[in-house]
Chains A and B, each alone.
Chain A
């Protein structure tokens, strides 16, 4: 039972354009959401997070949007750069500080120069 779903296994975007990665969840108890980025042969690194009390959080080129009623979140990267090419994982937890994260299966983003 996949409680966090990333339905696009891969995405290709032209350099300089906007990358939009999507994530859906089914567990209404999820209260905190995070995005991680993973390069080959490295562990995932934290990118950005959002609490369920917000609908948007921005950090530089990265913005995460949360639509609680639709149980949907998205990560926007503007402008996309070649170094953004990686696998992006969406994750959720039932409260801030709960180290038990439920991850999606990931979306491989490729930025085309």
Chain B
């Protein structure tokens, strides 16, 4: 079955702009999580959505937000972009429930460059 799909794969924005990233989870997966990867920082948890509700949130400012739709697809938005927001944004889906092994299935990521 198809894996986690993220769009766009690459994008360039300027400071002050806003950006929306999209994620389509694996069919049947109800949980979608977002992570930010920057050099030297590893992957940092942004938030997790399950059944259209934010279930967990990391330590990021309010400029970072997300949502999940009834078909489990998710979007994340970053407003008032800063240079430090340049990163690879990774989306992951999981079964989140009975049968959940704790394994996250990651997409290839959206690489955001802020100039």
Contacts and interface: CB of A to CB of B under 8 A. Distances in A.
Interface of A: 4, 6, 32, 34, 36, 41-46, 49, 89, 91, 93, 96-106
A25 to B, nearest CB: 13
B103 A44 contact: no
Contacts of A99: 31, 33, 48, 55-56, 92, 94, 96, 104
Contacts, number: 67
A49 B94 CA distance: 15
Interface in B33-56: 33, 35, 40-45, 48, 55-56
A76 B80 CA distance: 44
B103 A100 contact: no
B44 to A, nearest CB: 7
A103 B94 CA distance: 17
B45 A102 contact: yes
B101 interface: yes
A43 B55 CA distance: 23
